[in-house]
């Protein structure tokens, strides 16, 4: 299988092949790596790179990865080559998504904008409280507040839709 990774500004091509039970041949831009990997606890992998042992915690949703190794966090995106090609063909549609979702479970303390209001990228639009801390969430895009899905005082789950900017 082939994948395309984006690390910072750089794009890399990654190939994965199974090479025995729990063993994989992984190429990164043509350079070959042999690893032994097994998933030991929900998101945690035990990886033998050659004979060097790593505990690797792979987190993240969809194509956005956050990987922890020895306290260091590696952030990058990784997706199937075909998907990547499809996305490119699809153009801008998926870029600049305007749906703001709650990054954690909590309580909506305050709405800072109303439906129909013009907002700028990076503007604080809603305050969500979790664990005694108030967190101001910002919109990623400039546009008009199309719809607000929550009310002040409402308890929201992680990932809950908060508001839509177009």
Partner 1 sequence: MFKKILIANRGEIAIRVVRACREMGIRSVAVFSEADRRALHVRYSDEAHFIGPSPASESYLVIDKIIDVARKSDAEAIHPGYGFLAENPRFADRCEKEKIKLIGPSAYAMRTMGSKTLARKTVQAAGVPVVPGTVEPIASEEEVLRVAREIGFPVMLKATAGGGGKGLRLVREEEELRSSLRMAKSEAKSAFSDDSVYVEKYIENPRHVEIQILGDGHGNYVHLFERECSIQRRHQKVIEESPSVIVTPAMRAAMGKVAIEAARAVKYEGAGTCEFLVDRNRNFFFLEMNTRLQVEHPVTERVTGVDIVKEQILVAAGEKLSIRQDNVSQAGHAIECRIYAEDPDRNFFPCPGLITSLRTPGGPGVRDDSGVYEGFEIPIYYDPIISKLVAWGKDRTEAIARMKRALTEYVVTGVKTTIPFHIRVMNNRHFIEGNFDTDFIDKVFFKEEQERELKHGDVAVITAAIQLFLGERKRAMAQKSVEGEGQVSMWKYSTRPGIRKLG
Q: Which stretch binds partner 1 (CB under 8 A): 31-39, 87-95, 111-119, 142-150?
A: 31-39
Distances (CA, A) of 83 to 3, 18, 20, 21, 80: 9, 21, 27, 27, 5
93-152 residues in contact with partner 1 (CB under 8 A) are 103-107, 129-133, 135
Q: Residue 146 Cβ, how far from partner 1 at the closest point, in Å?
A: 26
Q: Report the residue number, 67 or 87, with the smaller CB distance to partner 1.
A: 67
CB of 117 to partner 1, least distance (A): 25
- 46, two tokens: 């035990």
Of the residues 69, 99, 111, 112, which one makes contact with partner 1 according to CB under 8 A: 69
Question: Among 54, 59, 60, 2, which Cα is nearest to 28's?
Answer: 2
Give the contacts of 39 (CB within 8 A, at least 6 positions apart). 45
Smallest distance from partner 1 to CB 156, Å: 10
Which is closer to partner 1, CB of 35 or CB of 126? 35
Kindly tell me which of 33 and 97 has the beta carbon lying closer to partner 1. 33
Of the residues 11, 19, 74, 140, which one makes contact with partner 1 according to CB under 8 A: 74
Does the footprint of partner 1 cover residue 19 (CB under 8 A)? no
- H-helix or E-strand spanning residue 83: helix 81-90
Nearest to 54 by CA among 27, 36, 80, 77: 36
Q: Sheet of 106-111: strands edge to edge? A: 133-138, 124-130, 106-111, 155-156
Distance CA 102, CA 155 (A): 11
Q: Given the structure tokens 């790596």, which residue do they identify?
A: 33
Site of interaction with partner 1 (CB under 8 A)? 1, 3, 5, 7, 12, 14, 16, 21-22, 24, 26, 28, 33, 35, 37-39, 41-45, 47, 49, 54-60, 65-76, 78-80, 103-107, 129-133, 135, 158
């Amino acid at each position: 299988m082939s994948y395309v990774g984006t690390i910072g500004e750089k794009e890399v091509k990654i190939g994965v092949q199974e090479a025995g039970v729990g063993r994989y041949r992984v190429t990164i831009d043509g350079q070959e790596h042999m690893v032994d990997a097994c998933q030991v606890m929900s998101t945690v992998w035990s990886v033998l790179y050659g004979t060097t042992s790593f505990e690797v915690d792979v987190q993240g949703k969809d194509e956005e990865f956050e990987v922890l190794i020895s306290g260091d966090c590696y952030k990058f995106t990784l997706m199937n080559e075909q998907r990547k090609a499809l996305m490119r063909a699809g153009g801008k549609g998926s870029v600049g998504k305007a749906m703001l979702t709650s990054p954690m479970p909590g309580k909506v303390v305050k709405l800072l904008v109303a439906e129909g209001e013009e907002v700028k990228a990076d503007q604080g639009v809603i305050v969500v409280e979790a664990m005694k801390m108030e967190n101001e969430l910002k919109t990623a895009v400039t546009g008009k507040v199309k719809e607000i899905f929550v009310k002040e005082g409402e308890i929201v789950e992680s990932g809950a839709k908060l508001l839509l900017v177009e």
